């Protein structure tokens, strides 16, 4: 087990943290990226990232690793690209406010969601109002593609802000992909989630010998199969979850 010692930044729930965490966990469970009981797993719901590099950093844990300054600087670099871009794109932002306004509000939203405390006053209502009123002209395929391209360029040029932990960039990708998927569904445009690798499935340690039949049955078929395979069992000879459960109970 490899560990990285991170600077310890104090964390706190923001106005949006818990709702966004809940929505992401629900979506990740449906894709079998997180266990079905992930909302009760301390390592998942905590705002503090694990120093074990084998465990992904959930995006609401990013503040515990980065603190405030790298997040603000990343957002600053992004908006420098936005305000230097083509007029059709830049003018939508400029009508709302200057670059400083956008840096402050976007950074506040990121910090709020990422475990830095209550920074984004108004929470999800404010965020939704912004997209349905101020930014509506860009909530389409063309606008999403341009926004994502500029953000991707910013991320690729900002490795210096992400520490030596490779999980940080992957966690940011996960954060952005989660929100881009939501906006694509809300505003009916193509999902432009091309920021890079996202958090892999979280593999929890499973010990069949310490579990009841009901607890084994509550696992996903993939979890049972993967655990059996890790124990040297040829799972190809078992067909369906019921057969796998029966084998697991014999361990």
Beta bridge partners of 55: none
4 in Cβ contact with 164 (< 8 Å): yes
The reported pLDDT for the residue numbered 129 is: 86
225 in Cβ contact with 244 (< 8 Å): yes
Local structure of 189: helix, strand or coil: coil
What is the location of CATH 1.10.490.10 in the chain?
1-204
Q: Is 171 left (phi over 0), alpha (psi -120 to 50) or beta?
A: alpha
As a whole number of angstroms, the distance between CA 74 and CA 154 comes to 7
Alpha helices (runs of H) in the chain, residue ranges in sequence order: 17-30, 42-45, 62-66, 68-82, 87-96, 99-113, 123-129, 141-156, 167-187, 213-218, 221-230, 241-250
The reported pLDDT for the residue numbered 17 is: 97
Report angle CA 94, 20, 224 to the nearest 5 degrees.
Answer: 140
43 in Cβ contact with 54 (< 8 Å): no
Q: What is the CATH number of domain 1-204?
A: 1.10.490.10
In the DSSP assignment, the letter for residue 118 is S
- Its pTM stands at 0.83
130 in Cβ contact with 25 (< 8 Å): no
The reported pLDDT for the residue numbered 231 is: 92
Q: Please list the pLDDT of the chain residue by residue as tens digits (251 residues).
A: 566 776 689 999 999 999 999 999 999 999 989 988 899 999 999 999 999 888 999 999 999 999 999 999 999 999 999 999 999 999 999 999 999 999 999 999 999 999 999 999 998 889 988 898 888 999 999 999 999 999 999 999 999 999 999 999 999 999 999 999 999 999 999 887 789 999 998 877 788 998 999 999 988 888 899 899 989 999 999 999 999 999 999 98
The reported pLDDT for the residue numbered 2 is: 63
177 in Cβ contact with 192 (< 8 Å): no
């Amino acid at each position: 087990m490899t560990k990285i010692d991170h600077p310890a930044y104090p964390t706190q729930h923001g106005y949006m943290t818990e709702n966004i965490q809940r929505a992401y966990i629900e979506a990740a469970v449906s894709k079998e990226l997180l266990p079905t009981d992930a909302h009760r797993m301390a390592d998942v719901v905590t705002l503090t990232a694990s120093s074990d590099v084998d465990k992904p950093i959930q995006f609401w844990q990013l503040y515990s690793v980065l603190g405030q300054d790298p997040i603000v600087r990343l957002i600053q670099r992004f908006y420098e690209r936005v305000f230097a871009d083509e007029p059709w794109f830049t003018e939508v932002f400029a009508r709302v406010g200057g670059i400083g306004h956008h840096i402050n509000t976007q950074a506040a939203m990121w910090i709020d969601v990422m475990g830095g405390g209550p920074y984004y006053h108004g929470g999800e209502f404010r965020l939704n109002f912004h997209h349905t009123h101020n930014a509506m002209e860009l909530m389409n395929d063309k606008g999403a593609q341009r926004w994502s391209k500029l953000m991707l360029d910013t991320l690729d040029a900002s490795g210096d802000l992400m520490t030596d932990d490779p999980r940080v960039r992957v966690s940011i990708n996960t954060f952005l992909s989660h929100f881009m998927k939501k906006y694509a569904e809300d505003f009916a445009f193509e999902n432009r989630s091309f920021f890079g690798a996202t958090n892999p499935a979280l593999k929890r340690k499973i010990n069949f010998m310490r579990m009841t039949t009901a607890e084994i049955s509550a696992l996903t078929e993939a979890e049972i199969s993967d655990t059996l395979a890790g124990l040297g069992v040829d799972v190809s000879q078992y067909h369906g979850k019921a057969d796998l459960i029966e084998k697991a109970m014999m361990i």
